[in-house]
């Protein structure tokens, strides 16, 4: 059964057993519980070590931020009977010392991967989701998209398995292909599973990083007062008044014809023949539709057919005129004049 750590409080941590969102792993934890696996979810490194040492356990490690240092990863590896590491960083992979190396990502053209190896868990599970996964060299490589690198790599002694995709274990993809079968076979071999997701609380334990004070050079302590002095000087300089404010009456009224002429000049300067053509055609169809009382839902074809009936002309000729695509400015002017003539004919009827 699932341990008390699976209380019904939720979170949003990726691959957390308390997370019911698509990127969580609550569904997998519940399935493992039904198969008699007790899932422990320690929040700290020390608690994870205690859980591993108290019984024969499988460890799932998902250190997506690379928080743990080499000594901590080595300690977890030594305490667990079997270790499944999900999408490890290069530093974590090196600390595992399992002869497995990162070899890139799964190509976009391989959304589904075949086992392609003699590893029992992979053979039994069959196809799994490959989209967005990483591939690895070394050990027994399974789910290869191309070459020898695979999304699942298992060490020679079988104690270490590196899975390059969190999606295989997540709620969103768990019911697809053989994702659930692979997850259950890898994580359900022991009666106890330690599901460990290192957090910022483990930074002090790992001692793998330095503080900003340690990284900063010695002269940086004088930088703060100097920047403060420069800021005060800038405030004094820019804060001076340069004369009384000038008030302008608003709003400013701009005639419609001036706006139209201004836009026309912009189109002309930028040689935007296509944009000008589209605007002229759209404006004509809107005005004709209003004149012909076709309503707001009328299409261009409805407007052309109505205009043809009103004028007693062939609809194909009107369609050809309106659908023309002038390629030069001279032709654009001639075309716009033809549209204006057509509009006047409709308006006078």
User: Which residues of 107-181 form beta strands (DSSP E)?
Assistant: 112-113, 128-129, 134-137, 140-142, 152-154, 160-163
Distance CA 192, CA 254 (A): 77
On the question of a cis peptide bond just before residue 251, with omega within 30 degrees of 0, the verdict is yes
Domain boundaries, given as residue ranges, for the chain: 4-202, 256-347
Q: What is the C-alpha end-to-end distance of the chain, expressed in Å?
A: 84
| Integer Cα distance of 143 and 99 in angstroms | 18
Looking at residue 94, its pLDDT comes to: 86
Q: Residue 142: helix, strand or coil by DSSP?
A: strand
Helix (H) / strand (E) element for 102: namely strand 101-105
Q: Which residues pair with 196 in a beta bridge?
A: 61
CB burial of 273-283 (b: ≥16 within 10 Å; e: otherwise) equals beebbeebbee
What is the per-residue DSSP string for 237-260?
A: HHTS--SPPPP--SPPP--HHHHH
Those residues of the chain that have pLDDT short of 70 are 1-10, 204-216, 239-264, 267-271
**Per-residue pLDDT tens digits for 14-31:** 899 998 898 899 999 999
Residue in 17, 23, 21 with CA at minimum distance from that of residue 196: 17
For residues 176, 180, 182, 188, the Cα torsion angle rounded to the nearest 10 degrees is 180
> Would you mind telling me the total number of residues written for the chain in this entry?
349
Between helix 329-347 and helix 315-322 the angle, nearest 10°, is 140
Is the pTM for the entire model greater than 0.85? no
Q: Which contacts qualify for 143-149: CB closer than 8 Å, 24 or more apart?
A: 143/113, 143/114, 143/115, 143/116, 143/117, 144/113, 144/116, 144/117, 145/106, 145/107, 145/110, 145/113, 146/107, 146/110, 147/103, 149/103, 149/104
- Please answer whether residues 98 and 154 qualify as being in contact, where contact means their C-beta atoms are separated by less than 8 angstroms: no
Q: What are the DSSP E strand ranges found in 170-242?
A: 192-196
Query: What is the tens place of the pLDDT at every residue in 54-112?
Result: 888 899 999 988 888 888 999 998 888 899 999 998 888 888 888 888 888 888 888 89
Fill in the DSSP letter of residue 209: S
Spatial contact of 30 and 183, defined as CB atoms under 8 Å apart: no
């Amino acid at each position: 059964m699932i341990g008390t750590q699976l209380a019904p409080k939720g979170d949003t941590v990726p691959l957390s057993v308390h997370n019911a969102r698509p990127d969580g792993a609550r569904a997998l934890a519940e399935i493992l519980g039904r198969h008699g696996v007790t899932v422990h979810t320690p929040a700290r490194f020390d608690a994870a070590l205690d859980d591993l040492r108290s019984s024969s356990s499988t460890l799932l490690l998902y250190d997506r931020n690379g928080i743990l240092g080499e000594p901590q990863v080595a300690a977890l590896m030594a305490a667990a009977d079997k270790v499944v590491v999900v999408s490890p960083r290069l530093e974590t992979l090196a600390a595992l010392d399992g002869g497995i190396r990162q070899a890139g990502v799964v190509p976009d053209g391989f959304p589904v991967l075949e086992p392609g190896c003699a590893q029992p868990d992979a053979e039994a599970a069959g196809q799994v989701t490959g989209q967005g996964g990483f591939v690895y060299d070394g050990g027994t490589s399974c789910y290869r998209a191309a070459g020898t690198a695979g999304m699942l790599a298992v060490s020679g002694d079988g104690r270490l398995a590196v899975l390059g995709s969190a999606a295989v274990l997540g709620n969103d993809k768990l019911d697809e292909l053989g994702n659930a079968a692979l997850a259950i076979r890898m994580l359900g071999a022991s009666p106890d599973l330690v599901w460990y997701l290192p957090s910022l609380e483990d930074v002090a334990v790992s001692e793998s990083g330095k503080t900003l004070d340690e990284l900063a050079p010695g002269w940086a302590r004088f930088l703060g007062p100097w920047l403060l002095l420069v800021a005060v000087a800038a405030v004094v300089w820019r804060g001076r008044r340069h004369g009384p404010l000038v008030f302008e009456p608003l709003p400013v009224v701009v005639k419609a014809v001036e706006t139209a002429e201004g836009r026309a000049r912009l189109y002309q300067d930028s040689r935007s023949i296509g944009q000008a053509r589209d605007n002229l055609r759209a404006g004509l169809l809107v005005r004709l539709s209003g004149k012909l009382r076709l309503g707001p839902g009328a299409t261009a074809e409805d407007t052309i057919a109505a205009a043809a009936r009103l004028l007693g002309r062939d609809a194909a000729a009107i369609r050809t005129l309106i659908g023309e695509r002038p390629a030069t400015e001279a032709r654009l002017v001639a075309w716009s004049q033809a549209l204006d003539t057509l509009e006047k004919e409709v308006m006078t009827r």
